[in-house]
Amino acid sequence: MAHILVIDDEFQIRQLVTRMLETDGHMVTTASNGAEGLRLFQQERPDLIITDLIMPELEGLEVINRIKKNNDNVPILAMSGGGHHCRRDVILHVSELFGAKAVLPKPFTRSELMQAIVVALS
Protein backbone atom coordinates (compact mmCIF):
# COMPACT_ATOMS: atom_id res chain seq x y z
CA MET A 1 0.00 0.00 0.00
CA ALA A 2 1.21 3.47 -0.80
CA HIS A 3 1.77 6.71 1.08
CA ILE A 4 -0.21 9.37 -0.78
CA LEU A 5 -0.12 13.16 -0.43
CA VAL A 6 -3.45 14.81 -1.31
CA ILE A 7 -3.41 18.55 -2.13
CA ASP A 8 -6.77 20.32 -2.53
CA ASP A 9 -8.10 23.62 -1.23
CA GLU A 10 -11.59 22.14 -0.69
CA PHE A 11 -11.91 20.55 2.73
CA GLN A 12 -14.65 18.17 1.59
CA ILE A 13 -12.59 16.86 -1.33
CA ARG A 14 -9.58 16.25 0.96
CA GLN A 15 -11.85 14.40 3.37
CA LEU A 16 -13.50 12.39 0.59
CA VAL A 17 -10.27 11.33 -1.13
CA THR A 18 -8.72 10.49 2.26
CA ARG A 19 -11.62 8.24 3.16
CA MET A 20 -11.62 6.52 -0.21
CA LEU A 21 -7.86 5.93 -0.08
CA GLU A 22 -7.82 4.82 3.57
CA THR A 23 -10.64 2.35 2.88
CA ASP A 24 -8.35 0.91 0.23
CA GLY A 25 -5.52 0.61 2.74
CA HIS A 26 -3.36 3.59 1.69
CA MET A 27 -1.70 6.03 4.10
CA VAL A 28 -2.76 9.62 3.46
CA THR A 29 -1.31 13.07 4.23
CA THR A 30 -3.28 16.17 3.22
CA ALA A 31 -2.41 19.76 2.33
CA SER A 32 -4.82 22.62 1.68
CA ASN A 33 -2.67 24.56 -0.80
CA GLY A 34 0.32 24.16 -3.10
CA ALA A 35 2.89 25.69 -0.74
CA GLU A 36 1.91 23.41 2.14
CA GLY A 37 1.88 20.49 -0.32
CA LEU A 38 5.47 21.17 -1.44
CA ARG A 39 6.63 21.45 2.19
CA LEU A 40 4.93 18.16 3.16
CA PHE A 41 6.35 16.49 0.03
CA GLN A 42 9.90 17.41 1.11
CA GLN A 43 9.27 16.24 4.69
CA GLU A 44 7.43 12.97 4.06
CA ARG A 45 8.53 11.86 0.57
CA PRO A 46 5.21 10.15 -0.34
CA ASP A 47 4.92 7.50 -3.10
CA LEU A 48 2.26 9.47 -4.99
CA ILE A 49 0.92 13.02 -5.08
CA ILE A 50 -2.71 13.71 -5.95
CA THR A 51 -3.13 17.43 -6.56
CA ASP A 52 -5.94 19.75 -7.55
CA LEU A 53 -4.88 22.19 -10.29
CA ILE A 54 -6.79 25.39 -9.58
CA MET A 55 -6.04 26.56 -6.04
CA PRO A 56 -5.40 29.90 -4.37
CA GLU A 57 -1.80 30.85 -3.43
CA LEU A 58 0.25 28.22 -5.27
CA GLU A 59 -1.64 26.35 -7.96
CA GLY A 60 -1.27 22.70 -8.85
CA LEU A 61 0.52 23.31 -12.16
CA GLU A 62 3.23 25.20 -10.28
CA VAL A 63 3.49 22.37 -7.73
CA ILE A 64 4.03 19.87 -10.58
CA ASN A 65 6.47 22.24 -12.29
CA ARG A 66 8.64 22.73 -9.18
CA ILE A 67 8.73 19.02 -8.35
CA LYS A 68 9.64 18.02 -11.92
CA LYS A 69 12.28 20.79 -12.17
CA ASN A 70 14.05 19.16 -9.23
CA ASN A 71 14.09 15.90 -11.20
CA ASP A 72 11.89 14.21 -8.63
CA ASN A 73 10.28 11.25 -10.29
CA VAL A 74 7.43 10.92 -7.81
CA PRO A 75 4.28 10.10 -9.82
CA ILE A 76 1.65 12.84 -9.82
CA LEU A 77 -2.07 12.48 -10.41
CA ALA A 78 -3.65 15.80 -11.42
CA MET A 79 -7.36 16.38 -10.81
CA SER A 80 -9.52 19.33 -11.80
CA GLY A 81 -13.09 20.46 -12.23
CA GLY A 82 -12.08 23.42 -14.44
CA GLY A 83 -12.43 27.06 -13.53
CA HIS A 84 -13.89 30.40 -14.60
CA HIS A 85 -11.20 31.04 -17.17
CA CYS A 86 -9.83 27.58 -17.61
CA ARG A 87 -11.35 24.56 -19.25
CA ARG A 88 -11.10 21.28 -17.41
CA ASP A 89 -9.86 19.19 -20.35
CA VAL A 90 -7.32 21.83 -21.36
CA ILE A 91 -5.79 22.30 -17.91
CA LEU A 92 -5.64 18.53 -17.40
CA HIS A 93 -3.87 18.17 -20.74
CA VAL A 94 -1.42 20.95 -19.76
CA SER A 95 -0.72 19.21 -16.44
CA GLU A 96 0.36 16.13 -18.42
CA LEU A 97 2.75 18.30 -20.42
CA PHE A 98 4.13 19.59 -17.10
CA GLY A 99 4.75 16.01 -15.97
CA ALA A 100 1.59 14.64 -14.36
CA LYS A 101 1.47 10.89 -14.99
CA ALA A 102 -2.31 10.59 -14.83
CA VAL A 103 -5.27 12.96 -14.86
CA LEU A 104 -8.72 12.78 -13.31
CA PRO A 105 -11.58 15.12 -14.20
CA LYS A 106 -13.84 16.13 -11.31
CA PRO A 107 -16.39 14.96 -10.36
CA PHE A 108 -15.21 11.35 -10.24
CA THR A 109 -16.52 8.10 -8.86
CA ARG A 110 -14.54 5.92 -6.50
CA SER A 111 -13.66 3.43 -9.23
CA GLU A 112 -12.46 6.25 -11.51
CA LEU A 113 -10.15 7.48 -8.72
CA MET A 114 -8.80 3.98 -8.13
CA GLN A 115 -8.18 3.42 -11.85
CA ALA A 116 -6.32 6.74 -12.10
CA ILE A 117 -4.16 5.76 -9.11
CA VAL A 118 -3.31 2.44 -10.77
CA VAL A 119 -2.24 4.35 -13.92
CA ALA A 120 -0.19 6.85 -11.89
CA LEU A 121 1.58 4.13 -9.89
CA SER A 122 2.18 1.82 -12.87
Partner 1 sequence: MPGLHVTTEQRYSTLLQQVIFAPNLNAREEFLAEAFELGRGALSQDAIPPDELVAIHHNAILCFSQKNPDMKLCDVVDLLTLPLIEMSMAYGMSFREQLEKQYRALLDKRLQESHRLEAVGTLAAGIAHEFNNLLCSIIGFSELAFEGLSDEEPAKESIQQVLVASLRARDLVSTMLQLARKNSGLPSEEIDLISEINSVIKLVDVREKKLEINFSSGVPNAFITAKPGQIQQIILNLCINAADAMEHCGTIDINIESTTSDECLTGVGESAICITISDQGTGIPPEVQEQIFNPFFTTKEPGKGTGLGLSVVHRMVEDLGGRILVESRTTGGNNGTDFRIILPFVDKDKRGTSCQKKCSLYKAHNHGG
Beta bridge mates, 103: 78
Nearer to partner 1, 19 or 39 (CB): 19
- Angle separating helix axes 34-44 and 60-69, nearest 10 degrees: 30
Q: Quick one: which segment of 12-20, 25-33, 42-50, 66-74 binds partner 1 (CB under 8 A)?
A: 12-20
Q: Quick one: which segment of 29-37, 43-51, 57-65, 76-84 binds partner 1 (CB under 8 A)?
A: 76-84
Q: 49 near 102, Cβ under 8 Å? A: no
CB 58 to partner 1: min, Å: 17
Q: 31 near 6, Cβ under 8 Å? A: yes
Sole binder of partner 1 in the list 3, 45, 69, 93 (CB under 8 A):
93
